[in-house]
Amino acid sequence: MIKLENISFDHCIKCTVCTIYCPVAQATHLFPGPKQSGPDAERLRIKNPELVDASLKYCTNCKRCEIACPSDVKIAEIIQNAKWKYVKVHWFRPRDFFMSRTDLVGGLATIFSGLTNFIINLKIMKVLMHLFLKIPYRRSFPAYQRGTFTRLYKKKLQKSQKGFQKRAVFFHGCFVNYNNHSLGEDLIKVMNALGYGVDIVKEKCCGVPLIANGYIEKAKKNAQYNIESLGKTGDSVIVSTSSSCSFALMHEYPSFLELDNSSYIDRLDYITKFIYDEFTAGNIPPMKPVGIRAAYHSPCHLERMGGVIYTLGVLKMIPGLDLVVLNSECCGIAGTYGFKSENYEISQGVGQNLFRLIEKAEPEFVVTDCETCTMQIEMNTRYKVLHPVTLIAMALEEKNEGKR
């Protein structure tokens, strides 16, 4: 049966604008593009599920099609749904299993982080992974940190957070928890400067990699866990430093996983939107000039949320930041997509435009909101990538030290 709320494909007027802006269709002819794979084919699939073709697997779910669509068709959602509802794509499952279990892998890896980082970067290991796990040899991996951010918070940071009356819950996500503790510390520094004490509640992976790899039931379980946990946080605000986690918590839970997130939705913001609102309300902490030239790359999922305006708004408030805003291009990694051998060429192909723009801008740093964009850009250009929150923290630094 057709679910009445899911007939946005009927609004498609076949203008094909989405296909013009599809980064994958630009990089390969193997993907017929979002219009054909989404609204066009959906009609056929509803009639007869056999009319599904395997090219759906090329979609990275970057959602640029939905941004381009003048008729508000949920194109990427239609494709994601179809991918897992109709197609039993026989990918290499052990790899996908581990790749999507960021909590499991991250939890293990951080115990022996030094050893893990050493091993996964060994040439022989890379060859083995290439051969047996179909993880591309040339792909570099994010380093794991010692221990989790949650532990660091409990041991060191929690105490200092007690003095604040206004409270914010930080949904740190897997990247901060296992790979980038300093972003978490920067977040706390910035929130404190804005007058908020930061709490952490129990959370599981938001589900983005699970959805991307077809583990929908597991994603639902995680989502339910997070909804329950975040729902119990009273009236404190909730912030996340990951654009994709935020997108999942806000949009994917209700619309794709069909779960009710109303218990927290009004309190949740992607971090730059939260800061933007605070800044606009006049709550601007003193900042010193950073004296940095940076190029800003807008991640696909942040664009889809309509969040770029806030990141730019906040960045432009940082004194002494010479900001080059790069034309909007997909970096190509799309979460776990670019970590798979069968997608590696396409992933790199998609990113070429962005890498060229970055090189042309000649910045000192690249700034972006997304963790996998960060990995992709650091691997393919010579620049270090910073999160907007880190930049604000850098601007705050001296002032705080001066006080002490």
If one asks whether residue 327 binds another protein (CB under 8 A), the answer comes out as yes
If one asks whether residue 269 binds another protein (CB under 8 A), the answer comes out as yes
- Residue window 180-199: x/- pattern of binding to another protein, with contact defined by CB under 8 A: --------------------
Contact 238, 268 (CB under 8 A): yes
Which residues in the 22-61 window bind another protein by CB under 8 A? 25-26, 29-30, 32-33, 36, 55
In the complex, the smallest distance separating the C-beta of residue 196 from another protein, rounded to whole angstroms, is 16
If one asks whether residue 167 binds another protein (CB under 8 A), the answer comes out as no
If one asks whether residue 155 binds another protein (CB under 8 A), the answer comes out as no
**337-342: long-range contacts at Cβ-Cβ below 8 A with a sequence spacing of 24 or more?**
337/60, 337/212, 338/139, 338/372, 338/376, 339/99, 339/135, 339/136, 339/139, 340/91, 340/92, 340/95, 340/99, 340/134, 340/135, 340/136, 341/130, 341/134, 341/135, 341/136, 342/91, 342/134
If one asks whether residue 15 binds another protein (CB under 8 A), the answer comes out as yes
Kindly determine how many residues on this chain lie close enough to bind another protein according to the rule CB under 8 A.
49
If one asks whether residue 87 binds another protein (CB under 8 A), the answer comes out as no
Residue with smaller CB distance to another protein, 232 or 316:
316
If one asks whether residue 304 binds another protein (CB under 8 A), the answer comes out as yes
In the complex, the smallest distance separating the C-beta of residue 64 from another protein, rounded to whole angstroms, is 9
Stretch that binds another protein, among 112-120, 265-273, 335-343, 388-396 (CB under 8 A): 265-273
Residue with smaller CB distance to another protein, 44 or 122:
44
C-alpha 292/C-alpha 358 separation (Å) is 15
If one asks whether residue 379 binds another protein (CB under 8 A), the answer comes out as no
For 96-136, the DSSP string reads HHHHH-HHHHHHHHHHTHHHHHHHHTSHHHHHHIIIII---
Cα-based torsion angle of the residue sequence 279, 282, 288, 291 in order, rounded to the nearest 10 degrees: 40
C-alpha 302/C-alpha 141 separation (Å) is 23
C-alpha 120/C-alpha 255 separation (Å) is 37
In the complex, the smallest distance separating the C-beta of residue 239 from another protein, rounded to whole angstroms, is 11
Residue with smaller CB distance to another protein, 21 or 153:
21
166-171 and 237-240 strand pairing: parallel
In the complex, the smallest distance separating the C-beta of residue 314 from another protein, rounded to whole angstroms, is 8
Residue with the two structure tokens 């946080």: 233
C-alpha 247/C-alpha 301 separation (Å) is 7
C-alpha 35/C-alpha 178 separation (Å) is 37
Stretch that binds another protein, among 100-108, 159-167, 269-277, 330-338 (CB under 8 A): 269-277
Site residues (vs another protein, CB under 8 A): 14-17, 19-21, 25-26, 29-30, 32-33, 36, 55, 66-72, 250-251, 254, 265-269, 273, 276-277, 279-280, 303-306, 308-310, 312-313, 316-317, 325, 327-328
